[in-house]
Structures are given as C-alpha cells and as structure tokens.
Amino acid sequence: MERYSTIICEKPDQAKKIAGPFPHKQHKGTIEIKPCETFPKGAIVVHAIGHLCEMASPGDYHEDWSESRDWSLNNLPMLPEQFKIKVTRSKAKAFQTIKKHVMDPKVEQIIAASDAHAKES
C-alpha cells in the first residue's frame, strides 16, 4: 500500500461498521479497506478499546504524594507543574497499533471516526 488514510475508531464493533460498506480485509488489530471510489489509495481502520490512557497517579509526580504515605490536608492542593498521562497497561497493544498507523509517513490523512457527542443546552 502506497499512501493511505488511517481511520481511528473508539471500539472494534465501530471499526467493523465503518469498514462494512467498503471492500475490506480484516487483519489482527486492523481492517484494511481496499482501494475504492471513496478511498482511492485504500485505508486502514484502527480502533481503541475505550480509554487507552489514564492520568498518572499522585506518586508519579512527587514521592510525598505516594499512596503508600499517610495523606493529610497539608499536602493539598496537589497541583503538578505539568500533568502526565500513561498508557493503560491492558490497552498497550491497541495504543501501539494506533500509534504505528498515525505515525507512518505513508499516511496522508487521519480521520477521527469517534462518536459525536452533542451537548444540548
């Protein structure tokens, strides 16, 4: 596959539904959309499994904030200079698959196909 599009979905079933109308082949962790009218150069559909990352725990910022220490109101507020995130251990494989296809220099466009959440007023 020369240059292609990467489509990121939130869940495996969503990836299957998006690839469904197109000629495609399922691989382990991805779905390859064959070249067609909509995707002349083809596409790869990747998916998350819910939230792939989480906030670092307080102890990851400062030893005094560790869960093994006695917490007290004197430690509050806990405001790190910069927030840290980490990949959820059980979802590392999905994260790496998405990262691989997002960072691939052959990717010419990335499509976020996540659920739209409209806020009603």
CATH number of the domain to which 30 belongs:
3.40.50.140
**Domains: count for the chain:** 1
Examine residue 49 and state whether it is found in any structural domain, yes or no.
yes
pLDDT value of residue 66 = 80
pLDDT value of residue 10 = 92
Examine residue 12 and state whether it is found in any structural domain, yes or no.
yes
pLDDT value of residue 72 = 73
Examine residue 118 and state whether it is found in any structural domain, yes or no.
no
pLDDT value of residue 68 = 67
pLDDT at 64 over 80: no
Model confidence band, residue 120 (pLDDT cutoffs 50, 70, 90):
low
Q: For the chain, give the mean pLDDT.
A: 89
Examine residue 41 and state whether it is found in any structural domain, yes or no.
yes
CA distance 91 to 49: 7
CA distance 92 to 53: 9
CA distance 56 to 48: 19
pLDDT value of residue 114 = 83
Examine residue 121 and state whether it is found in any structural domain, yes or no.
no
Examine residue 14 and state whether it is found in any structural domain, yes or no.
yes
The mean pLDDT of 46-60, rounded to a whole number, is: 90
Model confidence band, residue 119 (pLDDT cutoffs 50, 70, 90):
low
Examine residue 34 and state whether it is found in any structural domain, yes or no.
yes
**What domain range is 59 assigned to?**
4-67+81-112
CA distances from 10 to 24, 46, 49 (A): 19, 9, 6
pLDDT value of residue 1 = 58
The mean pLDDT of 68-90, rounded to a whole number, is: 83
pTM for the model: 0.78
Examine residue 39 and state whether it is found in any structural domain, yes or no.
yes
CA distance 105 to 84: 27
